[in-house]
Amino acid sequence: MNALRLASLNGDHLGRTIISAGNVRFGEDFVVIAGPCSVESEEQTLKTAQEVKAAGAHMLRGGAFKPRTSPYDFQGLGLQGLKILEKAKQETGLPIVTEVTDPRDVSWVSEYADVLQIGTRNMQNFSLLKEVGKIDKPVLLKRGMNSTLKEWLNCAEYILAAGNPNVILCERGIRTFETYTRNTLDLSIVPAVKETSHLPIIVDPSHGTGRLSMIEPMSLAAMAAGADGIMVEVHCKPAEAMCDKDQAMSPDMFGGLMKKLHILRSSMSKMNGKAMQGSGASNS
Ligand code: PEP
Ligand code: MN
């Protein structure tokens, strides 16, 4: 098998890659992305966006195209959803992360998104990877639920080789024999990525566990493991979420998590000297 040329930590890439999306810098600050699983309505998205912004989130997430296990489940609002996200960005100033599922949609979806997400089910959709390789917006590449580190980094390599150097990795849990959790969140992949690649890596404990009670401890553990950020699902009315209701945090819970992340970050900064984005006067 050919070795990785662009995604690995080697002679050409000894330092860590820093990726900018609006005023957010992945690989430098600890980035918190929060928002609903899917964009359901203008009211739900704007309300959630305002709440996560008030609690200190740095980016807003929300799916307009939802890859669902059943074809009868809510598939997302498509273009209408992207327009709602655009409005939420205008109102809050939060840059947007949203998923793209079809190579034919990449170019126009990238006009709305600050970061394009490739979901776990599409990690090895090579035509999609080549297409996002042609744009200059950052790509959040989720780990395939059955994929090894090597397979994942090779998918990042597809994007880099096609000309887009802005790839952010996202651990979102893998399939194991365990059934208590929705997936098994593999936090050991964080230091594994740090020693093999220069790309930033964030962690998604919402899909990684599927359990509300575990999102806070796994977010703190992700930070302690050296992740460059987290992505969590927050809904203004969790009980009414149309998608992934069991893992939707309330804005209050999210606020509590943010406070703990700041406390942990300041103790960690004594060890490594890094600050959490938003902990300074400019972003608080
Ligand atoms: C999501 O983040 O909305 C999502 C569908 O995640 P995953 O691809 O990890 O299941
Ligand atoms: Mn979800």
Distance CA 11, CA 136 (A): 24
Check residues 182 and 281 and name the one with the higher pLDDT.
182
Residue 283 predicted with pLDDT over 50: no
Q: Which atom of ligand 1 is nearest to the CA of 173?
A: 9
| Ligand 1 lined by 232 (C-beta under 6 Å) | no
Write the pLDDT tens digit of every residue in 27-86. Answer: 999 999 999 999 999 999 999 999 999 999 999 999 999 999 999 999 999 999 999 999
Tokens, residue 12 = 């050409």
Q: At 195, which helix (H) or strand (E)?
A: helix 189-196
Comparing C-alpha atoms, which of 41, 8, 37 is closest to residue 235?
37
202 pLDDT more than 70? yes
CATH superfamily of 19-266: Aldolase class I (3.20.20.70)
For the segment 192-214, the average pLDDT, to the nearest whole number, is 98
- Using CA atoms, how far apart are residues 234 and 33, in angstroms rounded to an integer? 10
Report the pLDDT averaged over residues 178-207. Answer: 98
Give the number of whichever ligand sits closest to the CA of residue 233. 2
Among 199, 198, 230, which residue's Cα sits nearest to residue 217? Answer: 230
Instruction: Look at residue 13 in the predicted model and tell me its pLDDT.
Output: 79
Q: What is the pLDDT of residues 231-269, one digit of tens each?
A: 999 999 999 999 999 999 999 999 999 999 999 999 998
CB 167 within 8 A of CB 157: no
pLDDT for 282: 40
| CB of 208 closer than 6 angstroms to any ligand 1 atom | no
Q: What percent of the chain has pLDDT over 90?
A: 91
pLDDT value at residue 59:
98
The per-residue pLDDT of the chain, averaged, comes to: 95
Testing ligand 1's pocket by substitution, the residue of 120, 121, 145, 233 carrying the most ligand atoms inside 8 A of its CB is 120
Q: How confident is the model at residue 284 (pLDDT cuts 50, 70, 90)?
A: very low
Query: What pLDDT is attached to residue 189?
Result: 98
For residue 265, the tally of other CB atoms under 10 A from its CB is 20
The residue contributing the CA closest to ligand 1 atom 6 is 119
Q: Rounded to the nearest 5°, which phi and psi values hold at 22?
A: 60, -130
How large is the average pLDDT for residues 168-177? 98
> How large is the C-alpha radius of gyration of the chain?
17
Ligand nearest to the CA of 182: 1
Q: What was the pLDDT predicted at 272?
A: 75
Q: Measuring from atom 3 of ligand 1, which residue has the nearest CA?
A: 37
- Alpha-carbon gap, residue 205 to 172, rounded angstroms: 6
- Model-level pTM? 0.95
Q: Give the total residue count for the chain.
A: 284
Q: What is the pLDDT of residue 277?
A: 64
Residue 3 predicted with pLDDT over 90 = no
Q: Is the pLDDT of residue 159 over 60?
A: yes
Cβ of 54: how many Cβ atoms within 10 Å?
13
C-alpha distances out from residue 33 to 8, 143, 256, Å: 25, 17, 15
- Span 9-21, pLDDT tens digits: 986 777 999 999 9
Ligand 1 neighbourhood includes 133 CB (under 6 angstroms)? no
1, pLDDT greater than 70: no
Q: Check if 62 has its Cβ closer than 6 Å to any atom of ligand 1.
A: no
Q: What is the pLDDT of residues 145-156, one digit of tens each?
A: 999 999 999 999
Q: Two tokens at 117?
A: 């997400």
Q: Distance of alpha carbon 6 from its chain centroid, rounded?
A: 21
Report the nearest-CA residue for atom 5 of ligand 1. Answer: 119
- The structural domains of the chain, with segments of one domain joined by +, span 19-266
pLDDT at 278 (0 to 100): 62
Please name the helix (run of DSSP H) or strand (run of DSSP E) that holds residue 204, with its range, or none. Answer: none
Q: CA separation (Å) from 12 to 15, 50, 134, 139, 154? A: 9, 41, 22, 21, 17
- CA–CA separation, 117 vs 106, rounded Å? 10
List residues bridging with 26 in a β-sheet.
Answer: 19, 29
